[in-house]
Amino acid sequence: ESATAFGCLVSDMWLGEFDFVSPEAFHSVFGKRYPAFSRRTQHDAQEFLICVLDDLHEAFKQVRAQLCQERQSSAAGASTRSSSGTSIITHLFEGQLSYAIRCLTCKALSDKPESFTVLSLPIPSTRVCSLQDCLECFFQPDTLTQNNQIHCYWCGSNQDATVKASITKAPQIIIFHLKRFAWQDKRRRKLSTTVCYPFSDLDLSPYISTSCHNNTEYSLCAVVNHAGDLDYGHYTAFCKHSITQHWYSFDDAQVTKIPASAVQADTAYLLFY
């Protein structure tokens, strides 16, 4: 299965016996489970990432549930809480948002929780902006009117409302997707905006609920780049070695050490903190 193939891929990478490791075997196995990704056509890295994380979560969740059952049966009379809905994927990558929705008529407030593994951030400029600008745009309050009205339980009818998102659970690893493919003048275009992102001390506390006690400062550990346009593109990655703290560029079979200054790129598409 794809989880086993992924494990072999990770093992080959960390053994350090090769100059580079091809994910061809993992891609082949994964493509059999998800035929949409089996064809050698253009695919979105963010969509592929979410699909891989979901698939690994389902596989690891089953193993975790089986281990919990074995512990329960071996511990005579012991009470063990089942963790069948969690996995190493949820432990590392899953966060939770809460949308505070206030009816503008009766002022009633309700909360709508939502889990996430990737936060898709709008890019509020066409030339240059910062990651903080993108976060401010994502978390700014919005007004729901006309076709977007809510059905207010207390009013018993559809009403205008305000909605504001906040993070109630911050994941250990947070992934930002920069929405470079957007509609402009009724056409879908790629935004080549320079988005400046910090390498360390990214503080998410302004967007985190007071009920959340997780660490709110993050450091950059990887970047996925997209070069090209809507119809044709090429993905590369920058990754920081967890032990040496050196940065490396991954471009197909070319793996090269790069200075930290090269990690700030206009082609950044996914940011891993």
Q: Between 39 and 61, whose confidence is greater?
A: 61
Mean pLDDT for 145-164 is 95
Tokens of 14: 């960390």
Q: Which CB contacts under 8 angstroms, 24+ apart, belong to 25-30?
A: 26/2, 29/1, 29/2, 29/4, 29/5, 30/2, 30/5, 30/55
Residue 128 C-beta-side C-alpha neighbours within 13 Å:
3
What digits encode the pLDDT tens for the residues 249-259? Answer: 999 999 999 99
Q: How far is CA 266 from CA 163, 165, 197, in A?
A: 32, 28, 10
Whether the Cβ atoms of residue 157 and residue 254 lie closer than 8 Å to each other = no
What is the DSSP track for 62-96? HHHHHHHHHHHHHSTT------TT--HHHHHH-EE
Phi-psi region of 245 (alpha: psi -120 to 50; beta: other; left: phi over 0): left
Range name among 117-126, 186-195, 198-207 with the lowest pLDDT average: 186-195
Specify the pTM: 0.88
Residues of the chain with pLDDT > 70, as a percent, come to 91
Give me the chain's average pLDDT, please: 89
Give the right CATH number for 116-140+171-272 from 3.90.70.10, 3.30.450.40, 1.20.140.10, 3.30.1490.100. 3.90.70.10
pLDDT at 1: 83
pLDDT tens for residues 104-141?
999 999 999 999 999 999 999 989 999 999 999 999 99
Q: Reduced to 3 DSSP states, what percent helix, strand and coil does the chain have, rounded to the nearest 5? A: 30, 35, 35
Res. 61 pLDDT band, cuts 50 70 90 = confident
Radius of gyration of the chain (CA): 22
Positions of CATH 3.90.70.10 in the chain: 116-140+171-272
Which secondary structure element, helix H or strand E, spans residue 137, and what is its range?
A: helix 131-139
Q: What is the mean pLDDT of residues 181-208?
A: 89
Share of the chain above pLDDT 90, in %: 73
- For residues 85 and 70, is the Cβ–Cβ distance under 8 A? no
